[in-house]
Amino acid sequence: MARKIANGVQLTQQCWQALKHNPQLMIFPLISGITLVIVGIIFLIPTVGGALLLGDGQVATNGDESSVQWVFGIVMLFLYYFVCYTVIIFSNTALVGVALKLLKGESADVGDGLEIAISRWGQIIGFALISATIGTVAHMLRDAGRDSENIVVAIITSLIGGLIQGVWSVVVFFAIPVYVVENVGPVQAISRSWDIFKQTWGEGFTGRAVIGGVGFLVQFVLLAVFVGLLVVAISTGFIPLIVLTVLFGVVAFGALALITGAINGVFQASLYHYAQTGDAGRFIDNDLARNAFPT
């Protein structure tokens, strides 16, 4: 296990080096982030408006909503998840498509990535529909637990909801590079993804965990710095300084999200490429990739 963790760390470090030499990969998480903010704003208006209309001018609290309000809420939740997943998957498809080209030594830019994603539009929609369904079910389970007066039921349903989403993220880890290269449907891509992940369960899981873990630690440090700076800025009462501090926080956390997303795409593309060809490409060492596939 210690070897697997060490290999996962080294894979992550090499993906970071690849990103430093190909910063254009961060454009795709940026596009995704900006679009998701817009989607959130767009959905806020009809969701709140519909809840007020169905609730005679009041937004129902947990346990008080009518069956019509409940159905409306579930439908809006599903649609929101579907649009968000479509945006995320589209951007990740473009990112992985460019990463696959770059690791083979080919030239690729943002336009190439968008072209690849558009050419896989059918798979993206299908994948988003399945992901939105999983996300909605998990959300409903967590909500059912929060509405329950039994603390044991609340804890169990919350854990099950989280477990469903956690397992789903593992199963589909390689789905995007699968359908980018093999041009198969979303169900086949998910099945192939699970097969590849089982082959690389050690480095695949620990590498993914390292990316998330490092991101969390950096985020924690940034949060501490941001809160400290904000407290100092507020204590001065100088509005421009407060605004600059808030902007610093937005930029810092945004940059971290872009970097983490791009590194994850490079990681997926590299391990998938080795699984298909026996050559990891330009980003990670072949020996390190070979260790991810026990024989």
Q: Measuring CA to CA, how many Å separate 71 from each of 32, 145, 257?
A: 29, 18, 33
CA distance 253 to 247: 10
Is it the case that residue 294 has pLDDT exceeding 60? no
In whole angstroms, give the CA distance from residue 168 to residue 172: 6
Over residues 143-192, the pLDDT tens digits come to: 766 665 667 767 777 788 778 877 888 788 889 999 999 989 999 999 98
The answer to whether 262 touches 25, Cβ cutoff 8 Å, is yes
Of 288 and 18, which is predicted with more confidence?
18
Note the pLDDT tens digit of each residue in 47-82. Answer: 766 666 665 545 455 445 557 777 777 888 899 999
Banded pLDDT at 292 (limits 50, 70, 90): low
Residue 230 pLDDT > 70? yes
pLDDT value of position 214: 61
pLDDT value for 82: 95
pLDDT for residue 205 is more than 60: no
Residue 231: pLDDT above 90? no
pLDDT over threshold 80, residue 135: yes
Rounded distance between C-alpha atoms, residue 113 and residue 98, angstroms: 5
Q: Please compute the mean of the pLDDT values over residues 131-142 and round it to a whole number.
A: 87
Ranking 10-14, 94-98, 244-248 by mean pLDDT, the lowest is 10-14
Look at 211 and 287; give whichever has higher pLDDT.
287
- Measure the CA–CA gap between 95 and 78, rounded to whole angstroms: 25
Q: Could you give the percent of the chain with pLDDT greater than 90?
A: 21
Summarize the confidence of residues 207-217 as an average pLDDT: 61
pLDDT-derived band at 21 (thresholds 50, 70, 90) equals confident
DSSP 127-186: HHHHHHHHHHHHHHHHHHHHH-S-HHHHHHHHHHHHHHHHHHHHHTTTHHHHHHHH---H
Region 133-150 average pLDDT: 76
Q: Which residue has the higher pLDDT, 93 or 212?
A: 93
Find the mean pLDDT for residues 103-124.
Answer: 91
Query: What pTM value is reported for the model?
Result: 0.78
CA 66 to chain CA mean position, Å: 33
- Reply yes or no on whether the pLDDT at 228 is more than 80: yes
Looking at residue 122, what is its pLDDT? Answer: 93
